[in-house]
A = this chain, B = another copy of it.
Amino acid sequence: MPKLAGVIIAKTIEEAVKKIKLHEADLYELRVDYLESMENIELLLPHSNKLIVTVRKVEEGGAKRIEEQERLKLFEKFAKIKPAYFDVELYSNIVEDVINLSSKIGSKVILSYHNFSKTPSYQTLQSILDSMIELEPDIIKIVTYARDFRDNIEVIKLYENSENLIAFCMGEKGKISRIFSALYSPFTYVSIDNSVAPGQFTVGEMRKILELLGETK
């Protein structure tokens, strides 16, 4: 059965842990950029092997502006619980610092690129992907916005020569590529309550679709 990562939006660690306990995803992405308190991070320890720690840049959909060095400090704070993954954007000044931090503590790296306004051409996306490959992350995540259904095709083409790729389009017109990602990515992202990104399925909806696709093994 394809793996699903539930996106955790919470103000406190306690609220995040509560949400993790309430749901049945395979992984959980903790959006640190939404947190208002960093108290009691150790409460996440029992769930660290399922955790993706993301401090999303505001330019790529983050909840608020956080200076790069401040973002790096937050990653270092969460390094204490050794999460399964760190997610850092290709286009960020701290990308190499986070990659080094991850390898030091044995966490994996998701190298990500988000375009919330459109879907660049396949050629542009492939060149972004190629530059991401050079940094040798564990997983590459490319998420764009679908203005037209054909945008799905631009993104789906990326799967042709890539492994460990999570690539899909946001938006109502991009939903088909989210299913493609659920089937052919290491895992894909779903919402567990109020969806974070446009076009996002809930865990339940995605599980139903996958069942109808015969993906129950």
| A positions within 8 Å CB-CB of B | 149-150, 152-153, 156-157, 159-160, 172, 175-176, 179-180, 183-184, 201, 205, 208-209, 212-214
Please state if A176 and B183 are interface contacts (CB–CB under 8 Å): yes
Residue of B nearest to A209 (CB): B212
A149: chain B residues at CB < 8 Å are: 159, 183-184
Q: Which of B176, B201, B208, B213 contacts A180 (CB 8 A)?
A: B176
Given contacts A153-B156, A153-B160, A159-B150, contact A175 B214 (CB under 8 A): yes
Please state if A214 and B153 are interface contacts (CB–CB under 8 Å): no
Q: Which of B153, B172, B184, B212 contacts A201 (CB 8 A)?
A: B212
Residue of B nearest to A158 (CB): B153
Please state if A208 and B212 are interface contacts (CB–CB under 8 Å): yes
Cα of A172 to Cα of B214 in the assembled complex, Å: 8
Q: Which of B157, B180, B184, B209 contacts A209 (CB 8 A)?
A: B209
A160: chain B residues at CB < 8 Å are: 150, 153
Cα of A214 to Cα of B180 in the assembled complex, Å: 16
Cα of A148 to Cα of B211 in the assembled complex, Å: 19
Residue of B nearest to A161 (CB): B150
A156: chain B residues at CB < 8 Å are: 152-153, 156
